Amino acid sequence: MFRTCILVFVMAFPTAAHAWWECGHHIIALLAFEQLPKASQEKLYAILKSHPKFDVDFQPQVKVRNVPRWQIGRTGYWPDVARQDETFNRPTWHYQLGATAVLGTPGVDVEVPDFPGPVPPSASLQTRDLYIAQAYDLCAKVLADETAQADQRALAICWLAHLVGDSHQPCHAGSLYVKQIFPDGDRGANRIKTVQRRNLHALWDSLLGDQFDETDIERRMFEIKNNTRVWTAARRATRKPSDRSIRVWLEESRALGAGVVYATDVGDALRAAQRSGRTELEVVDLSEAYLKNAGRIAQERAAYAAFRLARIWNECL
């Protein structure tokens, strides 16, 4: 069913959507930082200390063994922390408009928003009405500008870490549009309830861990780096000249959304709903095989995200 659906390479989410929870963003940022040359590491940390919220949001509230290391990990998670601060909250930066998969006729059975265009020339870090790819392009430009104020470059460091991470979470790369059931989209799988978590999006967010746990983060990083197949494949793929755009990474995630996130267990539930004429899905009980495969994919996406984030950080610095 989902392998024959129409793939529209854009996506949609509610403003409350998150991608990867705190552990996941820490993992990706730290894996990326470890790959930077020492000079770039020192320069990044020096700029980060100019962050306008450094004295508040970058001071750990729990005991950690290495505070600077925690602060580097915090870069990836900080844009979610900023949701509580109206000055820095950028709700639409976390997602794109449109769809991963459409089962129905756009404009008749389902309503799919258009894909956002390039970042407006006048955009700045204060511009609110941007989407994930636009925000990424803007932040890369700000960080690379050595004449930009240090606090603005520090904000760009954090947003780049977060946006690269977001773009590699399959649920964050698109919504499912289905006639009768999700005519205006499933909000990046937020509308699909599961037994394991409150919804399918939350389940995928949790696959790299939940709230900050230093021991768990180090364990997961070790597993990712020591999975030779995954780590080597990610390194090779991300060195290709064609691997320069966040739009390429989003296409990868959308393909995983259509072929994995919405396949098997979720597909069975949708087919059952369609056969019975229901307009809502029953709560989905995901199989052990689905969960195991999802965990494997999450680690792969973290590896790819880490190499890509390291490259953009290093190039901009």
3-state secondary structure the chain: CCCCCEECCCCCCCCCCCCCCHHHHHHHHHHHHHHCCHHHHHHHHHHHCCCCCHHHHCCCCCCCCCHHHHHHHHHHHHHHHHHHCCCCCCHHHHCCCCCCEEECCECCCECCCCCCCCCCCCCCCCCCCCCHHHHHHHHHHHHHCCCCCHHHHHHHHHHHHHHHHHHCCHHHHCCEEECCCECCCCCCCCCCCECCCCCHHHHHHHHHCCCCCHHHHHHHHHHHHCCHHHHHHHHHHCCCCCCCCHHHHHHHHHHHHHHHHCCHHHHHHHHHHHHHCCCCCCCECCCHHHHHHHHHHHHHHHHHHHHHHHHHHHHHC
Greater model confidence, 7 or 108: 108
Confidence at residue 97, expressed as pLDDT on a 0 to 100 scale:
76
Confidence at residue 5, expressed as pLDDT on a 0 to 100 scale:
40
d(CA 22, CA 61): 14
CATH class for domain 6-316? mainly alpha
Identify the bridge partners of residue 58 per DSSP, sorted by sequence position.
Answer: none
Confidence at residue 16, expressed as pLDDT on a 0 to 100 scale:
46
pLDDT band (50, 70, 90) for residue 4? very low
Lowest mean pLDDT among 77-86, 142-151, 169-178, 254-263: 169-178
* Residues 129 and 91 sit within 8 Å (Cβ to Cβ): no
Confidence at residue 13, expressed as pLDDT on a 0 to 100 scale:
41
* Residues 294 and 206 sit within 8 Å (Cβ to Cβ): no
Say if residue 2's pLDDT is above 50: no
Confidence at residue 161, expressed as pLDDT on a 0 to 100 scale:
98
Tokens of 46: 């020096």
Confidence at residue 223, expressed as pLDDT on a 0 to 100 scale:
97
CA torsion, points 253, 257, 261, 262, in degrees to nearest 10?
180
d(CA 182, CA 193): 13
Stated pTM of the model: 0.92
Confidence at residue 172, expressed as pLDDT on a 0 to 100 scale:
86
Say if residue 67's pLDDT is above 60: yes
* Residues 306 and 32 sit within 8 Å (Cβ to Cβ): yes
Q: What is the pLDDT of residues 6-61, one digit of tens each?
A: 333 333 343 345 679 999 999 999 999 999 999 999 999 999 999 999 999 999 99
Phi, psi of 102 (to 5 degrees): -130, 125
d(CA 276, CA 265): 17
Q: What is the mean pLDDT of residues 249-260?
A: 94
Confidence at residue 1, expressed as pLDDT on a 0 to 100 scale:
39
Q: What is the pLDDT of residues 191-229, one digit of tens each?
A: 999 999 999 999 999 999 999 999 999 999 999 999 999
Tokens of 209: 């861990």
Say if residue 90's pLDDT is above 60: yes
3-state secondary structure 53-79: CHHHHCCCCCCCCCHHHHHHHHHHHHH
Say if residue 182's pLDDT is above 60: yes
Confidence at residue 18, expressed as pLDDT on a 0 to 100 scale:
61
**Can you give the length of the chain in residues?**
317
**Number of Cβ atoms within 10 Å of the Cβ of 185:** 27
Task: Tell me the longest C-alpha to C-alpha distance in the chain.
Answer: 62
pLDDT band (50, 70, 90) for residue 278? very high
Domain ranges of the chain: 6-316
Q: In 3D, which of 207, 17, 176, 199 has the Cα closest to residue 94?
A: 17
Say if residue 186's pLDDT is above 70: yes
Say if residue 313's pLDDT is above 90: yes
Q: What is the pLDDT of residues 121-156, one digit of tens each?
A: 999 999 999 999 999 999 999 999 999 999 999 999
The separation between CA 313 and the C-alpha centre of its own chain, rounded to angstroms, equals 17
